[in-house]
Structure 1
Amino acid sequence: MSVSPAWEVQEHTGATAWFQVGLVFGDGARVDALAVVADGRVSIEDVKARPALSLADLTVLADWIEEPLCKACGMESYADEEPEAAEENGESGGARRARPPWPRGIEGRWLVAQEYRAAQADGLDPVLAVMCATGHSRRRSLRLIAQARDAGFLTPGHARR
């Protein structure tokens, strides 16, 4: 994880500072964020991630960057105040992954088919459901769906002539 100052604007009552935050996970996932510190509060202004973050990952992004960002700003972290709460939630100080790894091969294709059919049954967009489940882009998710069709887990997408 890296935190570096981007720029700072001095105002009459204080200063507003922007920081570039970079996270690289062991599975190759990367998150770059632009955080703003003003009046003792930290806000995330921009986030870029490869592969895309799921909503669950986005909600814990603040937890991932809070402590290093607060150290760079010279502020106290909320994590320092409540160490017992993190332990009760099952979080530890160890490395975190952006998302659990998606199984490869036949098991992954079967899981893609399950996600696809569950979304269809709920009246949701099945491609979007696969994207959210795998964390892959639309193009890669469509490729996984095609592989699940080829493996026989899904019906053909269109009638053959």
Structure 2
Amino acid sequence: MSVWPAWAVREGERATRWFHVRLAFTDGARVEGLVTVSEDGMGVEDLRARPALSPDDLAAFADWIEEPLARACGAVAQPPGGSGGGAHRRRAAPPRGTEGRRLAAHEYRAAQREGADPVLAVMGATGHSRRGALRLIGRARDAGLLTPRHARR
């Protein structure tokens, strides 16, 4: 499951954010979509599935993406006895150092196997910008976790 931001539109105090969503199943099935999130809730703008989804699976799509989408929006589970409704939510920090390089290498290879953009996969997994993700991928290559980008002469 991968979720990464596409863009956001702000109208006064209201904001609507779009996210790319990708589900890959072990049997090779894939579902990709464009989802909106606003104060009014979640909406599916575009959806592609191979093979096609049954009506029951289509109805379950929102359940499949609810938790990863909430994480991408920065929502975290409230502690027992939670705080008030005005509490700010923060995204958990991605692992640093060796663990961060291992995570980047894992996501990069998984995206390559699926035929997806590896840099976007690392961006989604770590929360880094494109430049930060590329820097992290370079560090993973330097550490020997990924193959070299270009053959040395």
* TM-score (norm. length: structure 1): 0.47
Larger radius of gyration: 1
**Higher helix residue share:** 1
Q: What's the TM-score once normalised by structure 2's chain length?
A: 0.49
